[in-house]
Structure 1
Amino acid sequence: MASIQTNSRHPLTKSNIIKAHLALFGTNTIYAINHFVAKGIMPDKLSPTPFVLFRVLGAGALFWFIKTFIKEKIQKKDIFRLVLCGLFGASCNQLFFFHGLSLTSPIDTAIIMTSAPAVVFILSMIALKEKITKSKLIGLSIGAIGALGLVWYGQVAEGSSSFSGNLFIFMNVLFYSLYQVIVKPLMKTYHFITIISWVFLFGLVFLIPFGINDVLYHTNYALFDFNTYMVIVYVIVFTTFLTFLFNIYALRYVSPSIAGSYTYVQPAVSFIIVLFLSLALGNDTYNDDINMVKLISCFLVIIGVYLISKNPKTTT
């Protein structure tokens, strides 16, 4: 009979594991939509750096509002780890992501994000001594084939890719992967709202010196319309507040490598969005970024997600 390990704070039940996977799927679906939504106002109406500052400030305020109902103190020994989480998870990664997205296409962004599972898996093996299983290795291999196919064809096919933009997106992947690995041990001690509140507070501290001048003096608010404000709200509430909640909730029940593997969902969702824009709305801006090679590659990375996230059976 299969057995499920439990702990007093976060019982590892089948129901919680299913919820964790649904949270990860929802997170990466929101991210895929964000590639198109945020791209729509950058850089013409809002530059990346003030956009990131608005994002962290707005979402941080929401997290700290919830935190007022959770009476929990941080131990001194964990402050430095939280500072690193703020630097990598709410500052550096978001600056590189938005600057990269402003330069390259949403499809390229989704493609490059598929490199996250390999990065997280390698970091987890080094820092967390995560166990290597046959299923995970096969899943990473199949997913890598699909990801490499996407990256290679994204470079030679027609489209709106940018080398510097793509490089910035990859740096975002690296920093966010570091965050996922560093934050994992804190899950055993603190409520996830406590963790994410401090992560965003420290992230804001790092961002203010880079973004305050742009917010106060170099942003033309007269260009903002209703759509601009709705995009900012979407990025704060959905892309940041909900996704960070979903992701840190999932990390209580699954490993960082499994959480990272769900970035494979983003290219598939992005292709669906492009098809919808083209067929339903007549918007062919990103049509050159879709073809059969990329669709097949997406199928491979989805199979990779399944194999990486599949838990090995244990018996008693």
Structure 2
Amino acid sequence: MSKRLLAILAAVGATTIYGINHTIAKGVMPHYVQPFGFIILRVLGAAILFWAISFLGPKERIDPRDYLRMLVCALLGMALNMLVFFKGLSLSTPINSAVLITTTPIIVLILSAVILKEKISGRKILGISIGLIGALGLILFGTEIRMDAPNIPLGNFLIFMNSMFYGSYLVVVKVLITKYHPFTFMKWLFSLGVLICLPFGYEEFMDISWSTLPINAYGAIAFVILGTTFCTYLFNIFALSQLKASTLSAFVYVQPLVGIAYAIISGQDHLTFIKIIAACLVLIGVYLASRKPKLSGTRVSNGDN
């Protein structure tokens, strides 16, 4: 089996795990584990795992000049985005979460234009507008009543904020990813994440009644730590070593399809007219915003992945 095929399988594996996570994590919150307590489990577990495998990578020290950027990355990528996502998921539904998470590429595009001064074409502006209309539709009109989703509009807004924070992280982290080995970078990033999240989640973490947790709750927690956090980072790291970032980012379109299908099959969510229209708008918007312009003239093959 070629490395390229393995990379594609790794990318599919990562996005499948992300898609399933919306339902599995939701099944534990807030009945067994509160969202902020869950974040402590996630960042602490991943930090331990990355430290455990760090000996497989080179011995590196963080340049003192990168301390501030590393802290900002931890704040955006390991703390704020996880805190608002899990809190939002506890208030909303798996399908809403799977749809709204695909606005991340749109956020990245906007921030790249503002921070990195990249040009935005008219088509991309149209895509951004359509995608945001879909996201706002879920936030403003997601008014269904569910016992396991006590405040869907607020939950949808927090999930959208997760895309904002994670999109900011992707823009800021670009320099560090090219400078340090992934194991070095991740072990320190998650360690900082633990310190930042601890004041928010300590009380909820200590409130977890481990002796009364059912087996399926333990399984869900293990899935989020090992699968959604640790394995997805490893899968994406390997995929990036064989595929271009633009190719890997295209797999984000698969996530809502997996998330919606798994939520419906498992009986944890159902489709509504608003969800269908919003999902279509978001996916159309992300496609238009991220699609590369056609090259004029003769097409030349350059081995693009």
> Which amino acid is 2:223 matched to?
Y
1:98 matches 2:73:
no
Counterpart of 1:83 in structure 2 is 71
Q: State the alpha-carbon separation in 1 of the partners of residues 11 and 132 from structure 2.
A: 19
Counterpart of 1:286 in structure 2 is 269
Counterparts of 1:269-308 in structure 2, within 5 Å, are 269-277=258-266, 283=267, 285-287=268-270, 289-290=271-272, 294=276, 297-298=279-280, 301=283, 304-305=286-287, 308=290
Counterpart of 2:218 in structure 1 is 229
What are structure 2's unaligned runs of at least 5 residues?
none
Q: Is the 8 A contact 2:53 2:183 kept in 1?
A: yes
> Which amino acid is 1:117 matched to?
P
Specify the SS of the correspondent of 2:170.
helix
CA-to-aligned-CA distance 1:109-167 (integer Å, 9 cap, x gap): 112212211111111222234455x6xx6467457636634753682685646121112
Q: Is the 8 A contact 1:59 1:237 kept in 2?
A: yes
Counterpart of 1:11 in structure 2 is none
Q: State the alpha-carbon separation in 2 of the partners of residues 292 and 79 from structure 1.
A: 44
* Cα root mean square deviation, aligned: 3.4
Counterparts of 1:1-316 in structure 2, within 5 Å, are 23-70=10-57, 71-130=59-118, 132=120, 138=123, 141-142=126-127, 145=130, 148-149=133-134, 152=137, 155=141, 158=144, 160=146, 162-216=152-206, 218-248=207-237, 254=244, 262-277=251-266, 283=267, 285-287=268-270, 289-290=271-272, 294=276, 297-298=279-280, 301=283, 304-305=286-287, 308=290, 310=292, 315=300
Q: State the alpha-carbon separation in 1 of the partners of residues 31 and 248 from structure 2.
A: 34
User: What TM-score does the superposition give when structure 2 sets the normalisation length?
Assistant: 0.80
Q: State the alpha-carbon separation in 2 of the partners of residues 241 and 27 from structure 1.
A: 10
What are structure 1's unaligned runs of at least 5 residues?
1-14, 278-282
TM superposition shift of 1:296: 9.3
Q: State the alpha-carbon separation in 2 of the partners of residues 237 and 311 from structure 1.
A: 38
Q: State the alpha-carbon separation in 1 of the partners of residues 125 and 254 from structure 2.
A: 14
* 210 and 304 in structure 1: CA distance in 2 versus 1, 3 angstrom threshold: closer
Q: State the alpha-carbon separation in 1 of the partners of residues 291 and 27 from structure 2.
A: 33
What fraction of aligned residue pairs are identical, expressed as a percent? 37
User: What TM-score does the superposition give when structure 1 sets the normalisation length?
Assistant: 0.77
Specify the SS of the correspondent of 1:73.
coil
